Amino acid sequence: MRENGKRQRTAFSLVELVFVIVVLGILAVLALPRMDRDIRQEAADNILSAIRYTKQMALMDDVTDPRNADWQRAFWRFGVRTCLVAEGDVFYYVGSDEDREGNIDNSEAAADPLNGKIMRGADGTSCASGVNNNASPNIFITKKYGIRNTNMFANCGGGGVDAARYVGFDHLGRPHTGFSGSTTPDYSTVMTSNCDLNFTFEDTSIPDLVIRIEKGTGHAYVLGQTDS
């Protein structure tokens, strides 16, 4: 049937449909590696920002107090803790132990500059629990990115135990580890070697993310990615 001298088409041909399906398949295959890189890069940007924010807070808040032998406990720190052991999900936190009792509680946690919520989750509680409603969603790195390993601080003076998984900074920006129980205000906890934080993903197709914190300067960057 013709109208105004033109033939009307009522459907696509089989060849055209097959061609479209093939093209969509190729695009999907090409997009998969990009999606993996995005997840890894998003995690890198988030964690790096938190570490650099911790250092910036330390530079602005000099906690040096010669009157107290344990003042180093108040160093601003970035650390990782477990929500609920049975689930294995982890979150990171940023804060300063102002009362020097060895732990960062909610009142001592930093506020996330992106949303104003605290950068500290609830220990022993599911990351998905309503108990964490006051916490920034950005800190739950298992939930957001599938990061689950518990030994990411292995070569940074810590291990798999929550209490040991942290890095802090003094008012000069120098990184420290192992100061949460310090009673000797002599800067003996300053890092003497670079610290490589290793984050692995549940999706094994995503390469490990290694963030290096340099001794002395506290400069943090993604290992192998000079522009991070």
Task: Tell me the pLDDT of the chain (228 aa) as tens digits.
Answer: 445 555 555 666 776 666 666 666 666 655 555 444 489 999 999 999 999 999 999 999 999 888 888 999 999 999 998 888 777 888 999 999 999 988 888 899 999 999 999 999 887 788 877 778 889 999 999 999 999 876 778 778 655 566 678 999 999 999 999 888 888 878 888 999 999 999 999 999 999 999 999 999 999 999 988 666
Q: What is the domain extent for residue 51?
A: 14-222
pTM of the model: 0.81
Compute the Cα dihedral for 124, 130, 132, 136 and give only its sign: positive
3-state secondary structure of 81: strand
The answer to the question of residue 68 being in a domain is yes
Apex 52 CA angle, 94 and 188, nearest 5: 75
pLDDT of residue 36: 44
pLDDT of residue 125: 82
- Phi/psi region, residue 2 (left: phi>0; alpha: psi -120 to 50; beta: rest), is beta
The answer to the question of residue 185 being in a domain is yes
Question: 125 near 132, Cβ under 8 Å?
Answer: yes
pLDDT of residue 29: 57
The answer to the question of residue 6 being in a domain is no
The answer to the question of residue 228 being in a domain is no
Other beta carbons less than 10 A from residue 131's beta carbon: 15
- Tokens at residue 203, please? 């999706």
Q: Which of 137, 195, 193, 130 is nearest to 164 (CA)?
A: 195
Number of domains into which the chain is organized: 1
DSSP state of 207: P
CA distance linking residue 218 with residue 133, whole number of Å: 32
pLDDT of residue 86: 75
The answer to the question of residue 9 being in a domain is no
The answer to the question of residue 3 being in a domain is no
Burial label, 80 (beta-carbon count in 10 A; 0-12, 13-18, 19+): buried
The answer to the question of residue 5 being in a domain is no
pLDDT of residue 46: 97
- Phi/psi region, residue 202 (left: phi>0; alpha: psi -120 to 50; beta: rest), is alpha
The answer to the question of residue 8 being in a domain is no
